[in-house]
Chains A and B, each alone.
Chain A
Amino acid sequence: MIIRGVQTDADERKTHFGFETVSEAEKTEKVYKVFENVAKKYDIMNDAMSLGIHRLWKDRLLHVMNPVPGTKLLDVAGGTGDITFRFVDYVRFRLRCQTRRELKSRQSLSWQQIAESYGQNESKSLGGSHAIVCDINKQMLKVGKQKAQSLGYTKGVSWVVGNAEELPFDDNKFDVYTIAFGIRNVTHISQALEEAYRVLKPGGRFLCLEFSRVNNPFLSRLYDLYSFQVIPVLGEVIAGDWKSYQYLVESIRRFPEQEEFKAMMEDVGFLKTEYHNITSGVVAIHSGFKL
């Protein structure tokens, strides 16, 4: 008879929480608390810390994605909805251009027929596109949903509390899976990648926007200085939370660098994997396809 200890595996296996070493169960809880604390000030802090540049990074992600109307998007760790709102704007713009082009080609039709074509497009809100924002943190989603209501992003957007390591979605459902500044907070990154592979349709695209390694040594020094001296102070002054932002900068250093993460994607089965460095590698967009 084999006698096993009462401790579960998660309590025994160790992982990192920033520069601390903690058990895996602890990490999940600590990360949850971090985002619960920062949720209300999340957007303001992003603007302050990156001097508004995070908006450009997210815009770039959408340009790489280049979605067409009818796309089904799963925005994991989507929190306050930044990526999803940009997706909706992009798709709406394309739909308007499409509608205009179609109407131009039909100028010989009667007024009734043109009116009917307007009616068709209204009923398929966003032209059949749908975005689901999935996040493990209820506070972040609450802030996101309120933002959506006040900015008018209610049609075609759904909000779900879910774990990236155990997604509540069926296989082969989504055209695009994005995870922006979220994957470094996941306790088991490979599991999240496997789930991403599972829920994507064949031909679907995985996109990850995340902080990465700066390749220029001089810039790297400057970046380190800024990260460790300025950001936690901003965190204390604006959000009243030094520790959460200390965790943030440490977690960035702990995340695998570009090539390593690309290899992790390939291990799970993604093909045509590549990454684009932005701002000298401060941020990188990793892309892969399920083929």
Chain B
Amino acid sequence: SFRTMLRNGCRLALRLNARLVHVVSVIPTGSRQFSSTIKRSSDNLKGKEQNKAFDTSVLEYLVCPLSKKPLRYEESTDELINEELGIAYPVIDGIPNMIPQDARVVNRNEDNPVSGP
């Protein structure tokens, strides 16, 4: 909608403005401030990655909703696996989805996981 476009436009303008101000302050003074600009933009990227990353501190509370047994976090597939029942709960955007209907069935043989209903 027009309102969201306006809001986004203002936000972009503010962000660009902030960056411009930072660049201007960098030019006269030397390498120390320059390196802080690089650190700032790399922190931004890190922040975005952190959004997607799964915070494993919640694992000490999480269990499978069906069997109430603990889960294992599989980093390669970004899933929480219940070995006993052979099901995997997906982690999307760093948020684990613990609804049993959204879990997929994992074959006992870890090499060929089979997607379930």
Task: Report the separation of the CA atoms of residues A167 and B63 in the bound assembly, to the nearest whole angstrom.
Answer: 9
With A132-B58, A158-B55 as contacts: A170 and B95 at CB distance below 8 Å: no
> Bound complex: CA of A154 vs CA of B58, how far in Å?
13
Given A167-B65, A169-B63, A170-B68: A159 in contact with B99 (beta carbons within 8 A): no
Are the CB atoms of B92 and A138 closer together than 8 Å? yes
Contact A132 B61, beta carbon cutoff 8 Å? yes
Contact A136 B99, beta carbon cutoff 8 Å: yes
Inter-subunit contact B64/A168 (CB<8 Å): yes
Is there an interface contact between B66 and A166, defined as CB atoms closer than 8 Å? yes
* A139-197 residues at the B interface, CB under 8 angstroms: 141-142, 145, 149, 154, 158-163, 166-171, 173
* Chain A residues, Cβ within 8 Å of B65: 162-163, 166-168
For B31-53 the 0/1 string (1 means CB < 8 A from A) is 00000000000000001001100
Once bound together, how far apart are the Cα atoms of A18 and B47, in whole Å? 42
With A and B bound together, what is the CA distance between A196 and B102 in angstroms? 22
Scan B60-99; emit 1 where CB is below 8 A from any A CB, else 0. 0111111010100000000000000000000011111111
Residues from 99 to 138 in A contacting B, C-beta threshold 8 Å: 130, 132, 136, 138
A169:B62 contact, CB within 8 angstroms: yes
Nearest CB on B from A162, distance (A) = 4
With A158-B55, A161-B99, A162-B99 in contact, is A169–B94 under 8 Å at CB? no
> Does the CB pair A162–B63 fall under 8 Å?
no
Q: Are A160 and B99 in contact (CB under 8 A)?
A: no
Q: Which residues of the other chain, A, contact B57 by a CB distance below 8 angstroms?
A: 130, 158
Q: Are A166 and B95 in contact (CB under 8 A)?
A: no
Beta-carbon contact of B58 and A158 below 8 Å: yes
- The CA-CA distance from A160 to B61 in the complex, in Å, is 11
A168 in contact with B95 (CB, 8 Å):
no
Nearest CB on B from A253, distance (A):
29
A161 touches B63 (CB 8 A): no
Please, which residues of chain B bring their CB within 8 A of the CB of A166? Answer: 65-66, 100
Q: Which residues of A contact B (CB under 8 A)?
A: 72, 130, 132, 136, 138, 141-142, 145, 149, 154, 158-163, 166-171, 173
Known: A168-B62, A170-B61. 13 other contacts (CB 8 A): A158-B57, A158-B58, A158-B61, A159-B95, A160-B62, A160-B98, A161-B95, A161-B98, A161-B99, A162-B99, A167-B65, A168-B98, A170-B70
Residues of B within 8 A of A (CB): 47, 50-51, 55, 57-58, 61-66, 68, 70, 92-100, 102
